[in-house]
Structures are given as C-alpha cells and as structure tokens.
C-alpha cells in the first residue's frame, strides 16, 4: 500500500513538473491570459476526475459488494484498484467539456497528454514492482516504449506543432492512439480466451478510444470534413 501511494505521488510530481516546463513560456497561454495558477488548477481538477472515473470503471469490471461502502470506494490507497483506461477517458473528456472563457482546449489537451506521457514509464515500472514483475511486458517493455514515445513527442512532434505544421489538439489525440494501441497489445499478449478478452469493458473502451481518437485526429488535421460527414448521412 505504501509503495502504491509513493508511485502515485511520484507520477503526479513528474506530471506537474513536465506540465510546468512545457507551459511556462508558451505564447498561446500568454496571449489568452492563461496563468500557471489557472493551468495547475485545471490539472488538479483533471487528475481528480481521472482518478474518480478510473475507480468507477475498476469497480464495474471487478464488482464486489464491499465497494458499496463509501469508505472502501473512495479510499483506493487502502483498497487498491484503478482502471488506467477509465482514467484516461474521464480526463480527456473533462478537458474538452470543462468550460472556461478563452481556454485553448486543444493546447491544454496537448500539454496534459505529453505531461501524462512523461509519468507513464515510472507508473508502469512501479506497478511492475508491486506485482513482482510477473508481467514483464507491462513492467519493463511498456515503460521503455512510453519513454521512447515521450522523447519522440518532445523532439519531433512538439516542434512541428510550435511551427504550426500540426494543429493544437492533434498531439493529444496522437498520444491517445499510441496509449490505446500499446495497452491493447500488452493485454492481448497474455490472453487465453479471445472471446472473453474482447468482451471485457476495458478492452471495449480501448478499441472505442482508438477509433474515436483516430477520427478526431483526422478531423482536426482536415483530412475528414465534418460537412462531408453531414452530407453523407443525409
């Protein structure tokens, strides 16, 4: 339990530190008068919603009458159980539906996604330690994959976004695509019964998340026109 809390705290610190580095001199936030205080407040709201949705999805997929007790439900450090997929879905939709005047939602989504990506390696490695590295793909290879992905985002994709070659919001959807694909592969490599596997709520959410993010990315970059989609439905 203590190691679980430490992993969460360290991941949160890495997330916030990376967010601060990314946003402290960003011109989009300066032009729209988005202060670091406003950004960090939004970050804490997003983390809270993400944890809540992660807990809900975990409880649904691993239901026990003990979770009816509010203390058991909310004290997840003492009664562990969080769905990472549920947390990502909840946080992503909160960012886009959190209404605040002049907020550059696409830019915030990008920066939150990159900051979260920076914390994933330590999160997966820590979870591997908790389970005694029984799942070496999740405990060793996934941290390496996400670390390489983070470097690629910082060194290649973020400069393209800064130069206007990639639109705001696209980096966030790209992250979700990578996250859902890698997580799906990590689950399928140890599956025994494919039918039972594909019907699990977490897996269904991963597939839907991948499809949704791919469509949103194509729309955001102008490869799919919303007007054409509307005409096609008539």
The pLDDT, as a whole number, for residue 196 is 76
Computed from CA positions of residues 129, 134, 136, 142, in that sequence, does the dihedral angle turn out positive or negative? negative
The size of the chain, in residues, is 234
- Confidence at residue 152, expressed as pLDDT on a 0 to 100 scale: 97
Give residues with Cβ within 8 angstroms of 146, minimum separation 6.
Answer: 117, 120, 121, 124, 182
In the chain, domain spans: 2-232
What pLDDT is stored for residue 126 in this prediction? 87
For residue range 181-234, list pLDDT tens digits in order.
999 988 887 777 777 778 888 899 999 999 999 999 999 998 877 655 555 444
Give the DSSP H or E segment for 130.
Answer: helix 105-130
* More confident: 158 or 75: 158
Q: Is the dihedral of CA 146, 152, 153, 154 positive or negative?
A: positive
Terminal Cα distance for the chain, rounded: 55
Q: For position 234, what pLDDT does the model report?
A: 42
Average pLDDT over residues 165-169: 93
pLDDT for 212 equals: 94
pLDDT digits (tens, 9 = 90+) for 14-64: 999 999 999 987 888 888 888 899 899 999 999 999 999 999 999 998 888
How high is the pLDDT of residue 104?
A: 85
Q: Which residues contact 128 (CB under 8 A, 6 or more apart)?
A: 135, 136, 138, 139, 140, 143
Mean pLDDT (whole number) for 168-188 = 92
Residue 101's pLDDT is 63
CA-wise closest residue to 100 among 45, 176, 174, 26: 45
Nearest to 186 by CA among 114, 144, 135: 135
Over the stretch 120-166, which tens digit does the pLDDT of each residue have? 999 989 888 877 777 777 888 899 999 999 999 999 999 999 888 99
For range 89-93, the mean pLDDT? 92
């Amino acid at each position: 339990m203590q190691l679980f809390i430490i992993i969460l705290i360290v991941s949160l610190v890495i997330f916030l530190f990376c967010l601060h580095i990314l946003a402290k001199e960003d011109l989009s936030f300066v032009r729209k008068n988005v202060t670091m205080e406003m950004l960090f407040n939004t970050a804490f709201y997003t983390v809270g919603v993400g944890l809540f949705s992660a807990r809900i999805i975990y409880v649904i997929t691993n239901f026990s009458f003990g979770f009816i007790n509010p203390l058991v439900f909310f004290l997840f450090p003492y009664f562990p159980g969080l769905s990472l997929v549920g947390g990502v879905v909840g946080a992503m939709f909160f960012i886009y539906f959190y209404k605040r005047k002049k907020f550059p939602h696409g830019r915030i989504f990008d920066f939150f996604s990159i900051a979260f990506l920076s914390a994933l390696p330590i999160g997966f490695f820590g979870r591997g330690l908790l389970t005694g590295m029984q799942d070496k793909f999740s405990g060793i290879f996934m941290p390496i994959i996400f670390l390489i992905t983070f470097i690629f985002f910082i060194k290649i994709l973020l400069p393209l976004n800064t130069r206007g070659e990639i639109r705001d919001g696209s980096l966030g959807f790209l992250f979700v695509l990578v996250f859902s694909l890698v997580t799906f592969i990590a689950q399928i490599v140890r599956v025994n019964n494919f039918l039972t596997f594909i019907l699990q709520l977490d897996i269904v959410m991963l597939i839907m998340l991948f499809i949704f993010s791919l469509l949103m990315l194509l729309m955001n970059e102008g490869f799919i026109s919303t007007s054409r989609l509307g005409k096609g439905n008539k």
